[in-house]
Amino acid sequence: MPEAVTHVGSGKVRELYELDDDRLLLVASDRISTFDVVLPTEIPDKGRVLTGLSAFWFARTRELVPNHLLALRDDGRSTECRRLEMLPLECVVRGYLTGSGWKDYRATGAVCGHVLPEGLRDSEQLPEPIFTPSTKAQEGHDENIDRERAAEVLGQERFDQVERISLELYRFASAYAAERGILIADTKFELGLDPDGILVLGDEAFTPDSSRFWPADEYEAGRAQPSFDKQFVRDYCETLGWDKTPPGPELPADVVAGTRARYVEAFERLTGIGFEAYLADPDVALA
């Protein structure tokens, strides 16, 4: 008998349900988006890879900051979470200059109020990682906001704490991943408050959907980097002359298989756990 659940939200590729007053169920689907469009073809096990990776990072960062994870379900794609009061901004950390950070830098020389050295190139590593929060847009792209605005929204003390924790999380995970051949160019977290006002990490963490993963052995500043996970999909889409507006194209079997293999490879490299072992018992990600 399935439990009664109320759907409380959805992202492009994940769903959130209410379990009771204190707990939510976060379910990661196998859907994939590219150029901000969800494609009609799924990548088998993608949701399990992302859920397992996120659980792995939650287990390893709990000393830095508590997180919302209560339990991993046997399906490997669903997590029971503590219900939080989410902060009204996205916590973004950038270690490399790409995406909207690169765009803002080229236009203004700064990103979210961080004035950067002159002459940085596309995808270049920053002298230090920077905290670059953004607003949560209902639809469309999140908008970068400067630190003054973010401090107004959160209050200075909470802002300082959120920035410090975000940078600590990024430094920890990016160093760990780099040793395993994956550069985490940037990443996005969602933080919330528990009923005692303690800051808690929610959502997913350090997955390829919430971060840009780049293959370290192909890294070269001065050009756009290949994506560790989505490059086959992007390359295939580019061959079609698709205008990148919905609906997106179906993916052929070889692109699906190659992409699934990249997700599994990211999981295995970062966690050191065989993906089959994760499927047999998801709790190995927490050990």
Closest distance to ligand Q0N from the beta carbon of 15 (Å): 6
Residue 249, preceding bond cis, omega within 30 degrees? no
Please, what is the minimum distance in Å from the beta carbon of residue 124 to ligand Q0N?
31
> Interface with ligand Q0N by CB under 6 A: which residues?
9-11, 14, 16, 24, 26, 68, 81-84, 86, 190, 192, 202-203
Q: Which is nearer to ligand Q0N, 24 or 266 (CB)?
A: 24
For the bound state, the minimum distance from the C-beta of residue 96 to ligand Q0N, rounded and expressed in Å, comes to 25
Q: Minimum distance between the CB of residue 48 and ligand Q0N, rounded to whole angstroms?
A: 16
3-state secondary structure the chain: CCCCCEEEEECCCEEEEECCCCEEEEEECCCCEECCEECCCCCCCHHHHHHHHHHHHHHHHCCCCCECEEEECCCCCEEEEECCEECCEEEEEEEECCHHHHHHHHHHCEECCEECCCCCCCCCEEEEEEECCEECCCCCCCCECCHHHHHHHHCHHHHHHHHHHHHHHHHHHHHHHHCCCEEEEEEEECEEECCCCCEEECCCCCCCCCEEEEEHHHCCCCCCCCCCCCHHHHHHHHHHCCCCCCCCCCCCHHHHHHHHHHHHHHHHHHHCCCHHHHHHCHHHHHC
Q: Smallest distance, Å, CB 145 to ligand Q0N?
A: 17
Pick 76 or 215: Cβ nearer ligand Q0N: 76
CB of 60 or CB of 82, closer to ligand Q0N: 82
**In this complex, which beta carbon is closest to ligand Q0N, that of residue 10 or of residue 156?**
10
Cβ 26 to ligand Q0N shortest distance, Å: 5
Structural tokens at position 10: 């959805």
CB of 228 to ligand Q0N, least distance (A): 22
Which tokens hold the place of 182? Answer: 């994956």
**C-beta separation of 35 from 244 below 8 A:** yes
Given the complex with ligand Q0N, which of 193 and 273 has the nearer CB atom? 193
Q: How far is the CB of 65 from ligand Q0N (least distance, A)?
A: 13
| Residue among 83 and 114 whose Cβ is closer to ligand Q0N | 83
CB-nearer residue toward ligand Q0N: 26 or 151: 26
∠127-129-130 over CA atoms, to 5°? 110
DSSP bridge pairs for 38? 33
Using the minimum distance from each CB to ligand Q0N, give the nearer residue, 106 or 136. Answer: 136
